[in-house]
Amino acid sequence: MTKILIVAEHSGGKLNAATAKCVTCASSIPGAEIDIAVFAANAGDIATQAAALAGVKKVLKIENPANAEPLAAVLAPQVVAIAANYTHVFGPSTTYGKDLMPRVAALLGVGQLSDIMAVESAYKFRRPIYAGNAILTVEAPQDKKLVATVRAASFQAAATGGSAAIESATVNAELPTHTRFVTRSAAATGRPDLQTAPRVVSGGRALGSADNFKIIFSLADKLKAGVGASRAAVDSGYAANELQVGQTGKIISPELYVAVGISGAIQHLTGIKDARTIVAINKDSEAPIFEVADIGLVGDLFTVLPELEKALG
């Protein structure tokens, strides 16, 4: 039997949507039995949210003061211990998953399968390579535990309405002392998180300066959208590093993606290829972004955006 353990990602007492997308991926494997492990200091509310996901059989609460912060070095030994009776261990291909899952694989002595984008069978999957220009079919050995990350942008979140059992679990794992949590620093923008926002507005190098980039924030506020940026805009200092969208930034799949002054380098397109609707605004009619855009507007962004904001009220 295929028994899949999904390591939940959560923050501020809320389950990250990427976990629900991992459930959808796991549910694509016929006959799979799916459990979710929640590692936290107090996992009650998070476990309840996880138990409501359709397709989940059981939610395991692993509560420990050491799990108050998601330190990969601390969580990995616990994941390995709790995963002893599972055939598969899945995590999201977010920053959290990319930090944690390689450690889990290393402790288990197996290779990690990254960025699952489609399921063919319990041990055969498809994943993107070469910045998404090619799709590779990978078949993992069936005699070893399969550790993998799921490309969240490729799956819809599992529906709610489930009623999985919730159990407390204890693990016997030696936790490292060389890694400890010191402090957390994050800007409070009041805007939706870039990786989970249903709408995203991104700006590129054509904005010309960090001061001009403010019009991206203004439009995003009108649309109640998250804010992103191209690598060129980030490298030029117009936007913060955490806003970068693309192959070396964040891979996102919003319902609406508005690209403003972004030419459309292949590395950027890799990060937005799963967006449902792409709107491009650029004064260069030959910009590559128009090849993938559902709606394209050729014009000066400094003229177009104020008019667009006015139309939005």
Please give the full DSSP string across 125-177, using - where no structure is assigned. Answer: EEEEETTTTEEEEEE--TTS-EEEEE-GGGSPPPPB----EEEE-----PPPS
For the chain, the maximum distance between any two Cα atoms, rounded to a whole number of angstroms, is 62
Give pLDDT, residue 257: 98
Q: Tell me the pLDDT of the chain averaged across its residues.
A: 94
DSSP state of 18: H
C-alpha to C-alpha distance for 166 and 284, rounded to whole angstroms = 55
Give pLDDT, residue 57: 97
Matching fold, domains 3-168 and 199-312: yes
> Considering just the CA atoms, what is the radius of gyration of the chain in Å?
21
pLDDT digits (tens, 9 = 90+) for 134-158: 999 999 999 999 999 999 889 999 9
Give pLDDT, residue 153: 87
C-alpha to C-alpha distance for 302 and 299, rounded to whole angstroms = 9
Q: Name the pLDDT band for 263 (thresholds 50, 70, 90).
A: very high
Helix 214-223 vs helix 301-312: crossing angle, to nearest 10? 30
Q: Reply yes or no on whether the pLDDT at 187 is more than 80.
A: no
CB atoms within 10 A of CB 307: 10
Helix 95-108 vs helix 72-82: crossing angle, to nearest 10? 50
Note the pTM of the prediction, 2 decimals. Answer: 0.84
Nearest residue to 268 (alpha-carbon basis) of 296, 291, 285, 299: 291
CATH number belonging to the domain at 199-312, selected among 3.30.1300.10, 3.40.50.1220, 3.40.50.920, 3.30.930.10: 3.40.50.1220
The CATH code for residues 3-168 is 3.40.50.620
pLDDT digits (tens, 9 = 90+) for 74-99: 999 999 999 999 999 999 999 899 99
The residue length of the chain stands at: 313
Q: How much of the chain, in percent, has pLDDT values that exceed 90?
A: 84
Domain limits of the chain?
3-168, 199-312
